[in-house]
Amino acid sequence: MQSSTVKDRFERLKQRPVTLEVNNLVKVFDTPQGDVTALQAINFTVHRREFVCVVGASGCGKSTLVRILAGLETPSAGTIRLNGAAVEGPGPDRGMVFQGYTLFPWLTVKQNVMFGLRCTGHSRYTAEQDALQWIDLVGLNRFADSYPHQLSGGMKQRVAIARALANQPKVLLMDEPFGALDAQTRARMQAYLLEIWQNIDITVVFITHDLDEAVYLADRILVLKANPGEVQEMIEVPVPHPRTPAQFLSAEFLATKRRLEELIHPPVTVTEDADRLNMVRMVAVDDAVGSVF
């Protein structure tokens, strides 16, 4: 059960203006085997300064959805509106962070963060000063003149976040940005991201396959089911803010994760021959593993 404090927070959240609105979104891919519907009848809204995670089984269209929100893919039907204006392609009102390290290897940290600012017409001086502020925000001011190959994976993603935020977008879109990081670095990056989100005016849509990560970060979690990708449920996360790693064992955290697992990995009835591998035994009969000796 949600505490009164958490309920009050969601009531306040619902009173904020809607930043992102998705209506009847459909995406159909034309393949040699015929049309494949990746997304069907997707409807949801995201409020200003909300943190929404999107989860779902493999193949449910999570990455396709975020690419459409970024304007990198064209929907087959439906509309996306950002602060009331139709989204019809990429734009500086949306920042994007990918799972892979998408920094320009021939540019320094500062030059990478300056890149978008220069493309949108900022002078070199203004772009440099703004870039240094964002680099300081992500804690990399000592590495402003370093090149990507001189940085760790977590540091590269912090630069990518700074670059995405430099144009001061309304929405930050993140497609499994920490998926390639080791567990310790991932935990640090989650904490960095929450701190950044709490201190700047940004709305976040975050794609992840990690259920712990979704519950730890999100205000609400959009659950997609696969084949085709459809909205299965929108879950309000009852874990109170500020979030801390200690909450991973709280009743609210575990109950939310359990609900996600029920939705994404429902129990199945396995017949005797289902999913059985056609294996030829290549060890001695008495060389047993996975059994009682």
pLDDT of residue 128: 94
Q: Which residues contact 144 (CB under 8 A, 6 or more apart)?
A: 108, 109, 110, 132, 135
Contact 229, 41 (CB under 8 A): no
> What is the pLDDT confidence band of residue 9, given thresholds at 50, 70 and 90?
confident
> What is the pLDDT confidence band of residue 110, given thresholds at 50, 70 and 90?
very high
pLDDT of residue 33: 85
pLDDT of residue 276: 66
pLDDT of residue 51: 97
State the chain's mean pLDDT as an integer: 90
Assess if CATH 3.40.50.300 describes domain 1-93+171-293. yes
CB-hemisphere CA count at 13 Å for 259? 17
In this prediction, residues 275-284 reach a mean pLDDT of 70
pLDDT of residue 34: 86
Sign of torsion over alpha carbons 284, 286, 292, 293: negative
> What is the pLDDT confidence band of residue 14, given thresholds at 50, 70 and 90?
confident
Task: Say if residue 275's pLDDT is above 70.
Answer: no
Query: pLDDT (tens digit, 9 = 90+) per residue, 65-106?
Result: 999 999 999 999 999 999 999 998 899 999 999 988 789 999
pLDDT of residue 38: 93
Contact 47, 53 (CB under 8 A): no
Task: Say if residue 37's pLDDT is above 60.
Answer: yes
CA atoms of 108 and 101, how far apart (whole Å): 14
Task: Say if residue 44's pLDDT is above 90.
Answer: yes
**Model confidence, pTM:** 0.88
Query: pLDDT (tens digit, 9 = 90+) per residue, 120-130?
Result: 889 999 999 99
Q: How many residues does the chain have?
A: 293
pLDDT of residue 291: 59
pLDDT of residue 200: 92
Domain edges within the chain: 1-93+171-293, 103-168
Task: Say if residue 272's pLDDT is above 70.
Answer: no
Q: Residue 86 forms beta bridges with which residues? A: 81
% of residues, the chain, pLDDT over 70? 92
CA atoms of 177 and 186, how far apart (whole Å): 9
pLDDT of residue 280: 72
> What is the pLDDT confidence band of residue 270, given thresholds at 50, 70 and 90?
low
Tokens of 54: 């999107």
Query: pLDDT (tens digit, 9 = 90+) per residue, 207-243?
Result: 999 999 999 999 999 999 988 999 999 999 999 988 9
Count of other CB atoms within 10 angstroms of residue 2? 15
